Structure 1
Amino acid sequence: MERPAAPSLPDAVRGHWADRLAPARLRPYLRLARIERPIGWWLLLLPCWWSAALAALAAGRPWADPFHCILFLIGAVAMRGAGCTYNDIVDRDLDTKVERTRGRPLPSGQVSLKGAVAFLILQCLVGLAVLLQFNGFAIATGFASLGIVALYPFMKRFFWMPQIVLGLAFAWGALMGWATAFGSLSAPAVALYLGSIAWVVGYDTIYALQDIEDDEVVGIKSSARFFGEKVRLGVAACYALTVIFMVVAFILADAGPIAFAGLAAFALHLGWQVVRIDRSDGAGALRLFRSNRDAGLILFAAMTLESALRAL
């Protein structure tokens, strides 16, 4: 029997509609999909939008395809939720041993394993419906990511840098936007993908600082533990690679000065995060992690403005 819904988890957005307005029976499932933590789907969505905007720059279009961008939004919410549900199914025993995660719906008993599996299938069907709206090459590209997604939850058990595998999955949208626009992949999209991977590793290392003590006790591996006292240097290296690969992507796509100005602002934001890292401040780490949404939107807005002004 499923138990009554529990209060929101420590890293959830306070007063989110999912905790205030959704029917009580649905709230545990919404928490399972991390709906009350929208930063996750934002971070999955942004590489999709970057890629679509980069494709528009390369093709000389005034903006990224709005229909594709809406589909990416729906797909990001659905597949982020599916990924979190799958991750919680795999990690349900580990989650009981970590302070921040033991209140999640599965380890706390708010949702049964059977209910979680059914919910996972439902979210995957929504993601599939979105994917089938694209061209054949993009559909195949989307399916190619599933193996990486399936592998990720197991990596923290034996690989010191599971964030790399997370990056391979979460940055996949950097390929999808280009694939939906052109029906193929080329060097600018690959460079953007590599930069996005480094970005994911950097910001998720910051996120992992919240759990570093529990992870050490339980034996969960993470880049935050791997970098140790040099975590600021490790994140700085990841973010430096992010900017380098994105500069390459912009050059290959023939981006202009406004896009590069946006990239400079994005780089400054990443630098600000590095300066603010404090291994002992879990709440501060969460704020820095969440700030990557704003950094990503700055970059997307600059590319979009560049395309629009070129079309005038």
Structure 2
Amino acid sequence: MNATASRPADRLALYLDLIRWSRPAGWLLLLWPTLTALWLAANGFPGLHLLAVFTLGTILMRSAGCCINDVADRDFDRHVKRTAQRPVTSGAVSVKEALAVGAALALAAFALVLTTNALTIAWSFGALAVTLVYPYAKRFVSMPQAVLGVAFSFGIPMAFAATRGEIPLLAWGLLLGNLFWVLAYDTEYAMVDRDDDLKIGMKTSAITLGRWDVAAIMAFYAVYLAVWTWLGLQAGLGALFLAGIAVAAAQALWHWTLIRDRSRDGCFRAFRENHWVGAAVFAGALLDYALR
């Protein structure tokens, strides 16, 4: 245990830093599409129980994922400006501590899932498996952001499983569309660290796409919004949902102005502000159902 952080309050502060508690944008990126799927699955408000399960479960699993990711990347993170002072990388939190925190958070999330149904419980193991695989995909897959896209979209089929007891094609279509949104914002994120990642041999979409990175990001946004628009209309959503999509599209265009010169600050800001894209889509669906 680090002597400079031996008091319980100091350990808690380190654990909160480990799970990025002060940076909620990460779990919001998972939450908005999950909640939108929950409303679509329920044809409106899904009830307080499922709302609580999926909101708290999303926060807990994203936090557990941070612990796993930091342990897996600790030898790489020390060579990246943005991540060199993360608790595990700096030695302030041991590997065993980080894994223990991650396991406790994952178990808490699983306890919530146990209050749903057998199908949702079964698919939760798939979600955990993808969460465990992603940190290592960056060593072998040229577009690891696609693996992250699956991990960050798993709440969508689980929302349908919990609400309907089945996972229809609509859920898988939403997952596929959401994967392209994850490709867009996580490529922006990867652009921030591209110089460092090249030096240490990390594989990212920003490196793989090269000079086509900005164009690809805008194409990813377009596919995501087109797929979700079509599926939302097929599910019976109307004008207010389309208004939410329009607001999300306007934000995507704004992000282009932030990333077109590939500056670290611009790309990082675009990534951090991305949760508002998902919030706009959710707000459109929420209002469409509420004001019928």
| TM, length-normalised to structure 2 | 0.94
Structure 1 unaligned residues grouped into runs of 5+: 6-21
Distance 2:136 2:87 in 1: 20
1:79-116 per-position Cα deviation (integer Å, ceiling 9, x unaligned): 11111101111111111221211111111010112211
The structural deviation recorded for 1:293 is: 1.5
- The residue number in structure 1 matching 2:198 is 216
Structure 1 residues 145 and 93: CA distance shift in structure 2, 3 A: same
Matched residues, number: 290
- The residue number in structure 2 matching 1:98 is 80
Structure 2 unaligned residues grouped into runs of 5+: none
The structure richer in helix per residue is: 2
Distance 1:281 1:3 in 2: 38
Instruction: Say whether residues 1:35 and 2:17 are aligned partners.
Output: no
- The residue number in structure 2 matching 1:81 is 63
Distance 1:92 1:4 in 2: 20
RMSD: 1.6
Contact 1:90 1:153 in 2 (8 A): yes
Distance 2:91 2:67 in 1: 14
- The residue number in structure 1 matching 2:177 is 195
1:207-262 per-position Cα deviation (integer Å, ceiling 9, x unaligned): 11111110011111111111222211110111111012112321331212211221
Contact 2:209 2:216 in 1 (8 A): yes
Spell out structure 1 runs of 4+ moving beyond 3 A.
none
Distance 2:4 2:206 in 1: 34
- Which residue, 205, 215, 224 being the options, matches 1:233? 215
When structure 1 is superposed on structure 2, of 243-252 and 86-95 the one drifting more is: 243-252
Distance 1:309 1:245 in 2: 24
2:41 maps to a residue whose letter is: A
Contact 2:258 2:269 in 1 (8 A): no
The structural deviation recorded for 1:279 is: 4.9
For the residue of structure 2 that corresponds to 1:97, the secondary structure is coil
- The residue number in structure 2 matching 1:55 is 41
1:29 maps to a residue whose letter is: Y
- The residue number in structure 2 matching 1:151 is 133
Mapping for residues 1-312 of structure 1, pairs under 5 Å: 1-4=1-4, 23-57=9-43, 61=44, 63-310=45-292
